[in-house]
Structure 1
Amino acid sequence: MNLDFDDSTRMHPGVRKQERDKIRRLFINHVDRKLALHGNAPLNRFSIKCKDDVGPAPLIGWISNVLNRQVSELVLDISSHWNWPLSSEVVACETMVQEFWESCSVSSVTLKRLTFLNFASLVEASLDLQMTHDQINKAKFSEDGPVDLEVGTMVGNATDLLMGIRNVKTLYLSDNTLEVLAFCCKPMPVYNNLVHLTIKTDRDVEWESLTALLKNCPNLETLVFEGLLHKHGMNCGSHECLCRPYEEEDIPICLSSSPVKVIKILKFGVICEDEDMDKMMEQVEYFLETMPNLEQLIIHYETYIDEDVEEVLSQFQMVPREGLTKCKIQVISDNLSLSST
Structure 2
Amino acid sequence: MDMVPRDMISGLPDPLISLILSSLPTKKAAFTSILSKRWRFLFASVTNLDFAIDDDDETSTSFVEFVERVLALQGDAPLSRFSLNCVKRCPDPVRVTRWIQNVLGRGVSDLGLTLTECPLPPRIFVSKTLVRLKVGPGEDISFGVDVKDVFLPKLKTLDIDSVEFQDRDFGFVRLISGCPMLEELFMMNIAWANWTFCSVYAKTLKRLTFFCEDTDENPKSVSFDTPNLEYLEYSDSIAGKYPKVVFSSLVEAHIGLRLSDNQSAGANTFSDEEGYPPEDIEERAMVADATEFFKGICNVRILYLSAETLEVLTFCCKETPVFNNLVQLTIESNSEIGWDILLDLLMNCPNLETLVFKGLIHKRNNGCGNLCCCNPPEHPSCLSSSPVKVLKVIMSEIYEEEDPREIEQMKHFLETMPCLEQLIVYYNTSYDPAVFGLSKKLQKIDGIASPKCLIRVISQNLSLSSTVPCSLAMRWFTAPATEAYCSSPSDDEYSSSPATEANSSSPSDDEYSSSPATEAYSSSPSDDEYSSSPATEAYSSSPSDDEGLLHKATYSCGDVCLCQGIEKSPSSLTQCPVKFLTILNFEEACVSDDDVDMEMEMKKIKHFLKKMPNLEQLIIYYSTSIKDDLVQVSGQLQLLPEVASFKCKIQVISNSLGLSITLPISLSMKFEMIL
Would you call these one fold, judging by a TM-score over 0.5?
A: yes
Task: Give the 3-state SS of the residue equivalent to 2:436 in structure 1.
Answer: helix
CA contact (8 A) 1:168 1:191 kept: yes
- Structure number with higher relative contact order (C-alpha < 8 Å, ≥ 6 residues apart): 1
The Cα of 1:51 is off from its aligned counterpart by: 5.5
Q: 2:426 aligns with which of 288, 300, 304?
A: 300
Q: 2:198 aligns with which of 34, 39, 60?
A: 60
CA–CA separation in structure 1 for the residues paired with 2:337 and 2:289: 19
Partner of 2:589: none
Task: Give the 3-state SS of the residue equivalent to 2:198 in structure 1.
Answer: helix
Correspondence 1:77 to 2:219:
no
| Paired residue type of 2:139 | T
Partner of 1:127: 255
Correspondence 1:252 to 2:384:
no
CA contact (8 A) 2:302 2:328 kept: yes
CA–CA separation in structure 1 for the residues paired with 2:257 and 2:177: 32
The Cα of 1:52 is off from its aligned counterpart by: 4.2
Structure 1: gaps (5+ residues)? 12-19, 98-105, 150-155
Partner of 1:17: none
CA–CA separation in structure 2 for the residues paired with 1:258 and 1:309: 28
CA–CA separation in structure 1 for the residues paired with 2:424 and 2:186: 34
Counterparts of residues 175-190 of structure 1 (less than 5 Å): 175-190=307-322
Partner of 1:14: none
The Cα of 1:74 is off from its aligned counterpart by: 2.3
Task: Give the 3-state SS of the residue equivalent to 1:228 in structure 2.
Answer: coil
Instruction: Please list the CA deviations of residues 174-212 of structure 1 after superposition, one character each: whole Å capped at 9, or x if unmatched.
Output: 011011111122321111110000011111110111111
Instruction: Please list the CA deviations of residues 289-312 of structure 1 after superposition, one character each: whole Å capped at 9, or x if unmatched.
Output: 111111101001121111111111
Task: Give the 3-state SS of the residue equivalent to 2:435 in structure 1.
Answer: helix
Q: 2:391 aligns with which of 263, 268, 279?
A: 263
The Cα of 1:162 is off from its aligned counterpart by: 1.2
The Cα of 1:120 is off from its aligned counterpart by: 2.7
CA–CA separation in structure 2 for the residues paired with 1:96 and 1:323: 41
The Cα of 1:167 is off from its aligned counterpart by: 0.6
Partner of 2:371: 242
Change beyond 3 A, Cα 1:230–1:37:
closer
CA–CA separation in structure 2 for the residues paired with 1:70 and 1:188: 29
| Paired residue type of 1:81 | E
CA–CA separation in structure 2 for the residues paired with 1:302 and 1:248: 31
Change beyond 3 A, Cα 1:203–1:246:
closer
The Cα of 1:160 is off from its aligned counterpart by: 1.4
Partner of 1:102: none
Q: 2:299 aligns with which of 167, 186, 196?
A: 167
Correspondence 1:9 to 2:9:
no
Report the TM-score when normalising by structure 2.
0.39
The Cα of 1:136 is off from its aligned counterpart by: 1.6
CA–CA separation in structure 1 for the residues paired with 2:416 and 2:440: 19
The Cα of 1:9 is off from its aligned counterpart by: 2.2
| Paired residue type of 2:393 | I
Correspondence 1:225 to 2:362:
no
CA–CA separation in structure 2 for the residues paired with 1:184 and 1:225: 22
Pick the structure with greater CA Rg: 2
Partner of 2:81: none
Change beyond 3 A, Cα 1:176–1:293:
same
| Paired residue type of 1:270 | I
Structure 2: gaps (5+ residues)? 1-130, 147-162, 271-279, 468-675
Correspondence 1:321 to 2:457:
no
CA–CA separation in structure 2 for the residues paired with 1:141 and 1:323: 37
CA–CA separation in structure 1 for the residues paired with 2:334 and 2:454: 27
The Cα of 1:238 is off from its aligned counterpart by: 5.5
Identity within the alignment, % = 35
